[in-house]
Every structure is written in C-alpha cells, then in structure tokens.
Amino acid sequence: MAPMSSTGERIAVRAAGRVRAVARCMTGLFLAAGLLVAMALTTAVSQAGAQSLRSDEVSVGTGAAGALSVLSSIDLVEMGELLEHWRARYPDIKLTYRHKNSLDVYSDVVECNEARPCPDLAWSSAMDLQIKLVNDGYAARHETAAAAVLPPWAVWRNEAFGITAEPIVLVYNKMRVPPEDVPHTHADFIRLMREKGATYRGKIAAYDPERSGTGYLFWNSDVRITADTWQLVRAFGRTGPKLYSFAHTMLDRVSDGDHLFAYNMISSYARARAMEEPALGVVTFEDYALVMTRIALIPKQAPHPEQAHLFLEFLLSREGQADLARRAFGTVRLDTTPPDDAGADPAKFHPIHVGPQLLTYQDQSKRRIFFRDWRKALETE
C-alpha cells in the first residue's frame, strides 16, 4: 500500500487542501493551514484523553491494569472517538496507538525481537501483506464473540479479521462536470472517456498500480470481476491519464478543479472530504463496487496478548463498529447497517475477500504479466 512518512505530514496536506477549498480569497493561507493542523492534532488528543503525543503516536489509560501497543496504518485523527470509548471502558489499561505506513506495519511484525518488541495488534489496509503475515505463521488465533455476525469474507483462520467495509468509488468535481456526464456504471465511464476524451484530456486521475500497492490491488480486483476492465484501461489511456500513489493528492486535485474525476477512491476518505468540500461528488457504480477492509491481527509474539484480545474484540463490537462507521469507514457486522453509498444495491458490492487468494498479489510472475498488459492497454486505444 501507499506509504506515508508520518501522520503529521498527511494531516498537513489534507488541511491545506481544505483551506484551499474554503478560503481562496483569504490572505495568510499558510498560517491558516498551520492553525488547522494544530487544531486537528489538539482535538485528536483531547478526544482520546491522551497522556502523550508525538506526530505519529498517542497513549490513553493509566496502565494500572496492564498495557497494549497498537500499530496501525489509520491516521490518528480518525481514531479519536474510538480511543475515547475504549478508554472509558478500560481506563486502567494503557493503550499506545502508533501510526505507520502499511509496509512498516508488516516489517515491524516480521522483524520484532527482544530489543524491538512486537506490537500487540497490527491493523493495516495492506490486505495482501496482512494475509502474508498469517500465512507465514506470525499471527495468533482469536475466538470472537462476534463470529455469528461476521461475514465469511471478513475472517480467515480466526487469525485475520476484516474490521471495516469500505466501498471503492468514483469522485468527481460537481462544479465542473455537468450532470449528464456523471457516470453511474463502469460502462458509462468507458463511454464518457471514448466519446469525450478530448474534453476530459488530462482531467482523469487514478492510482498507479506500478507505484501503489493499493492501486495494484484495486485494478487487479477489477480485472478479476470483469475482463471489460481492460476496455476501461484502454479508454483511460486515450484521455492522457494522471496516475498517483496517494489518495489525498487526487482528492486535492479534483477539489481544486485541476482534475475532474478520480477513479477507484476509498469511500471513507472520499466521503469524509466531500462532507467538508462542496465541490466533491461521490458515485458508487451501480453495476458493481469493490469493497475493501482493513485487517487486524494479533502477532504470536505480542507481549500483552490478553489486552490485545480485548482490543480486537472491542473493534468487532457494536460500539467499536459504530465509532468506525461515524468516521465513514463502514461496518463489517451483518447485524448493523451496511455501507450507505449513493443508493447502490448492496447485492452489487464485491468484497475483496480476507484469505489466501490475496497471496497471489505477491506473485512476481503474475505482477509482471499484469504490468505488461496494463502498459499495452494504456497505449492501444
């Protein structure tokens, strides 16, 4: 998955984008952005009842009943409410939440030792890397009380647990794209790019699968659902596509009007931005929509396994799922409301399954074949 250097960097970029959207006529733009960053960090701390803060770390709880270390690829700013509710339930357990990019989450589990202890729980959007940890024997079993209300696609071997349900969507600029040009299916999008390629030349963005693990996962999953994906890639190629590694960059570009569409965006990020930036529109395609999940596991070498099992159970509980849903992450439990995405038929959601099939994304020969076909398709329309 696409790495970030730190939570502070990501918040800073996002804050700057939001300021651009609502204060173009204001002077002191950089000061305003800096104030927003400071406010975001302060709010995250106060909501979590934090005892200490670095740009990538926060701690809650007294420690009188033990400790717990959570390593996650989810930004601190998204976790304030969930951590506050955890602290209210277990005030005497000191929980340290560290944000790192998904590659670091993986390597910190693989490379842990006496001098560098394992996290107690690893939680990441890099679905393939999390499954590799399980397959390679790094994960411990967890027997959850929520087993009866978890979909089969979200659990593997009682060691890997999908915690969120996040549809993959199309983002567009509502101020610049006429309503008749907004596609509602993949076929509509292909038709738009073919018929109005000149109009939208240089205005359509997507993940670069050769530089982004997220992009590779999503594009490859599209191909597995339908071979028509290659028609979409060919049509995309004729528009002079703009390829990126990071979602926040694409959302900034669409919000500013530099680009008009961004394909295969994660719904949680897109909808959170759209609530604050009126220029952004979000479409969940009606023919099908991929659904990703962020996978949590407990390393076998976790120094505090009892507390780790408590936290994983909290993430899967109704309360934990409700906290995540309020941040637009979506709930994975079958007894709660499914993802609310633009009226899309829930039957059209195609979850990326938590399981061994994700290991194929690590197969180097398959990657070479995909990239060969990808480059050829981009150049042949």
Q: Which two tokens stand for residue 186?
A: 């993949």
Q: Which two tokens stand for residue 339?
A: 């993802």
Same domain, 41 and 174: no
Same domain, 174 and 187: yes
Same domain, 111 and 174: no
Same domain, 97 and 244: no
Same domain, 78 and 188: no
In a domain, 344, yes or no: no
- pLDDT of res. 136: 97
CA atoms 188, 224, 270, 378: torsion sign? negative
- 227-231, 244-248, 316-320, 335-339: the lowest-pLDDT one: 335-339
Mean pLDDT of all residues in 22-44? 36
Structural domain boundaries enclosing 141: 7-163+294-326
Same domain, 218 and 85: no
47-76 per-position pLDDT tens digit? 444 333 445 899 999 999 999 999 998 888
In a domain, 346, yes or no: no
Count of structural domains within the chain: 2
Name which residue leads in pLDDT, 247 or 158: 158
- Residue 15 confidence (pLDDT) above 60: no
Same domain, 158 and 95: yes
Task: Tell me if residue 70 falls in helix, strand or coil.
Answer: strand
With beta carbons less than 8 A apart as the criterion, state whether 323 and 77 touch.
no
Same domain, 60 and 181: no
Mean pLDDT of the chain: 85
Same domain, 140 and 280: no
In a domain, 337, yes or no: no
Q: Where are the alpha helices (DSSP H) in the chain?
A: 7-22, 29-48, 80-89, 102-110, 127-135, 186-195, 213-225, 229-237, 247-256, 267-276, 305-316, 318-326, 364-380
Q: Which two tokens stand for residue 163?
A: 């915690």
Same domain, 105 and 188: no
163-203 per-position pLDDT tens digit? 999 999 999 999 999 999 999 999 999 999 999 999 999 99
In a domain, 305, yes or no: yes
In a domain, 373, yes or no: yes
Same domain, 181 and 302: no
Residue 371 pLDDT class (50, 70, 90 cuts) = very high
Task: Tell me if residue 154 falls in helix, strand or coil.
Answer: helix
Name which residue leads in pLDDT, 321 or 361: 321
Same domain, 136 and 50: yes
Task: Tell me if residue 336 falls in helix, strand or coil.
Answer: coil
In a domain, 333, yes or no: no
- pLDDT of res. 336: 83
Mean pLDDT of all residues in 329-345? 71
In a domain, 340, yes or no: no
CATH number, position 276: 3.40.190.10
In a domain, 342, yes or no: no
With beta carbons less than 8 A apart as the criterion, state whether 355 and 156 touch.
yes
